[in-house]
Chain A
């Protein structure tokens, strides 16, 4: 005859023990719910931040993957360009959009002032699929084609230059022969982007127009946007194979600052989780140990009538897991409600200047990933298991003779 582990009766016993001291266990449950709900909300806000970081970086002309000529990052000039085969079309899994650009530093002059900027020659139709230009508020007209001889400048820059739509400006930069070239262009439109620094830096014109000015057939970059960030390494490999002479890099290699902040957010989530759980642990262990100590005689009796110590241990662990599981479920529910309540996002516009440095935009929208919910659930249960170790050990140490003591 085999002694079976009576899981069902142990579960019943655990549940009733918890219910018997419902006042204190409700408090404990409250603490767990609060901590879990907060961790989940914080998690989804941090995820929202990460999503914004990624959006910002990818949209700011970086893309998920970019092909550059070797040396371009140190010396961004048309000499460090490369020629794209005619009718080139990238063939990548998960491709969302792509474009090639000519991007060189230059100077913009109006009648009133002069500024240093990045000159970007674009294919407007392709550009609108992948970069922040798709989301700007535009006054005037957008560029019509890669051969459009007009320019698009940012609102902040227009203000500095004291210029307007329809006025002429002069662009000056270094051509493919190393000599300075300049030409006059008319302003087609003025864009207002999420950040002033974008407006001050980027001046757009048709790609072919800029190539003519630079006297070159080359482009300086090929930028690719993917549907899923997770596919970027694969896309980089494929592009590297296609452009063996050039360098294919992912956004995190191109923007190490954003990438390390991105990774830091991952770590921050775990740190917050650990701190909350550590704070909880004191209360949980305290309550569980009390529950064991109160029942010393009962546990001794169970041992005396022949319950194996392992079964006793299981009962304490079950009691811990039960309250943690209930708390985590309620906490996840409350956290989801909180996320839902904040679904329109938190308005950060009062801190416009500060949030740019954190790659945030003015509204922080929480992002709830099923993976995070699952992780909170699994880690919390693991924590419940860990927290029951000490009380369970106390329970096992109860001797059958303790049942006899008065």
Chain B
């Protein structure tokens, strides 16, 4: 209680020091929450756009996506996977490179055979359409916007797909463009066309065979548990690929961001701690006389140090509480509504990004940030306080 009252003897200084703690604390809380939110947003957008949370593929398909690295008996495996706990959706996909032609124009692209219903449940690609509609069934095609422009294709146009079958023979499909999508992802917009899986399998001579089974799970944090269950089901030539394995660029972009931010936070905290040390140097200096008096009347030096430590604790708590009071309501609001990111897509290095950046409040982070300052304050106060051990009461009383 004495420590708390001491703080208010120099109200301005206490407020400034607590203010600097609150400022740094608030900044850290905000940027950590928005950072976490942006990572989640990036991961969600990337996994939901197309890849899924994980995929089952042939062992070699990830490094070298070839028609012959396929999954046999896909229907059964898909059913088994769908019944696993935690798995909410399974989407089978066949995939091959082919030459696409509309009239005289030709371009190369990935052709993907999909089940329209499953695809609509797992991917946002079906809703990214800018013209026409999504696939239903039969000889239909859903193509990327850049590809459509290059081919001069519009909904209703006939599209010829020419590829190589598994045995080296010519694989051919004639489909009608029913819809055009635009994702902002150059690779998809320029190089992907989807057709119904049946059509694809017929054209490429595949018999209930696919190249990937995209999975959606209910809890991304428990993905590794799902991996265990899935791997137990798989024959040796098939492998489970998490989104981290499918999209290492997203993982690494986050890692770079984390690393650079960590450095920035570290320096910021240090700068603030320097000024806290400063505050305590001033406090000790100004109260030398008072401390001398307390020593003269028989107080032990360690009790004085303890009192200063207590003041430091109150200071850190005060700063943190101010920061918390300001941060929590704003962050709670931001975690619901989010900051509109329209026009910011360019900044995300071509990663799929959500339209609103939502803050993500992590209780661990919210607790850890003030803790950093509490510990930092204790150390900052200790530095000048240790001088009190050698304080001579007579000298101190004479100090001006």
Report how far A264 CA is from B348 CA in the complex, Å.
11
Residues of B within 8 A of A (CB): 12-13, 16-17, 19-20, 23-24, 27, 64, 66, 97-99, 101, 104-109, 149-150, 152, 163-164, 191, 248-256, 264, 267-268, 270-272, 274-275, 277-279, 281-282, 285-286, 346-347, 349-351, 384
Report how far A30 CA is from B350 CA in the complex, Å.
40
Jot down 28 A-B pairs with beta carbons below 8 A, ordered by A: A28-B275, A31-B271, A34-B271, A35-B267, A42-B264, A75-B152, A76-B150, A106-B108, A107-B99, A114-B163, A114-B164, A116-B97, A116-B108, A117-B108, A174-B104, A257-B349, A264-B347, A279-B271, A280-B275, A282-B17, A282-B19, A283-B274, A286-B20, A287-B275, A287-B282, A354-B254, A357-B350, A357-B351
Stretch at the interface among A6-14, A208-216, A270-278: A270-278
Q: For residue B275, which residues in chain A have a CB less than 8 angstroms away from its CB?
A: 27-28, 31, 279-280, 282-284, 286-287
* Contact indicator A260/B347 (Cβ below 8 Å): yes
Give 9 nearest A-B pairs by CB, closest first. A116-B108, A354-B252, A283-B275, A282-B20, A31-B274, A357-B349, A260-B346, A351-B252, A353-B249
* Contact indicator B253/A354 (Cβ below 8 Å): yes
* Contact indicator A105/B252 (Cβ below 8 Å): no
Report how far A284 CA is from B282 CA in the complex, Å.
13
Of the residues B152, B163, B271, contact of A276 by C-beta under 8 Å: B271
Interface 1/0s, chain A 18-45, versus B by CB < 8 A? 0001011001101100110010001000
**Smallest CB–CB gap between A362 and chain B, Å?**
12
**Smallest CB–CB gap between A49 and chain B, Å?**
10
* Contact indicator B252/A353 (Cβ below 8 Å): yes
Q: For residue B253, which residues in chain A have a CB less than 8 angstroms away from its CB?
A: 354, 357-358
Interface 1/0s, chain A 144-177, versus B by CB < 8 A? 0000000000000001100000000000111000
Q: Please tell me if A217 contacts chain B, counting CB pairs below 8 Å.
A: no
Decide: A27 near B281, CB < 8 A? Known: A105-B107, A354-B248: yes
Report how far A276 CA is from B272 CA in the complex, Å.
9
* Contact indicator B277/A358 (Cβ below 8 Å): no
Q: For residue B278, which residues in chain A have a CB less than 8 angstroms away from its CB?
A: 24, 27-28, 31, 283, 286-287
**Smallest CB–CB gap between A235 and chain B, Å?**
24
**Smallest CB–CB gap between B188 and chain A, Å?**
13
Q: For residue B149, which residues in chain A have a CB less than 8 angstroms away from its CB?
A: 74-75
Q: Please tell me if A60 contacts chain B, counting CB pairs below 8 Å.
A: no
Q: For residue A91, which residues in chain B have a CB less than 8 angstroms away from its CB?
A: none
Decide: A38 near B16, CB < 8 A? Known: A107-B106, A264-B347: no
Q: Please tell me if A348 contacts chain B, counting CB pairs below 8 Å.
A: yes
A31-B278, A279-B275, A286-B282 given; name 9 further pairs at CB < 8 Å.
A113-B164, A114-B164, A174-B105, A283-B274, A284-B275, A353-B249, A354-B249, A356-B249, A357-B350
Q: For residue A272, which residues in chain B have a CB less than 8 angstroms away from its CB?
A: 264
* Contact indicator B285/A24 (Cβ below 8 Å): yes
Q: For residue A105, which residues in chain B have a CB less than 8 angstroms away from its CB?
A: 107-108, 150
* Contact indicator B285/A21 (Cβ below 8 Å): yes
Report how far A160 CA is from B60 CA in the complex, Å.
13
**Smallest CB–CB gap between A62 and chain B, Å?**
15
Q: For residue A256, which residues in chain B have a CB less than 8 angstroms away from its CB?
A: 346
Report how far A355 CA is from B253 CA in the complex, Å.
7
* Contact indicator B66/A113 (Cβ below 8 Å): yes
Decide: A257 near B97, CB < 8 A? Known: A290-B282, A351-B255: no
**Smallest CB–CB gap between A140 and chain B, Å?**
22
Nearest residue, chain A, Cβ from B272: A279
Q: For residue A24, which residues in chain B have a CB less than 8 angstroms away from its CB?
A: 278, 281-282, 285
Q: For residue A355, which residues in chain B have a CB less than 8 angstroms away from its CB?
A: 252, 256
Interface 1/0s, chain A 96-119, versus B by CB < 8 A? 000000000111000001111100
Report how far A259 CA is from B317 CA in the complex, Å.
44
**Smallest CB–CB gap between A281 and chain B, Å?**
8
Decide: A116 near B107, CB < 8 A? Known: A261-B349, A290-B13: yes
Q: Please tell me if A234 contacts chain B, counting CB pairs below 8 Å.
A: no
Of the residues A28, A75, A160, contact of B274 by C-beta under 8 Å: A28
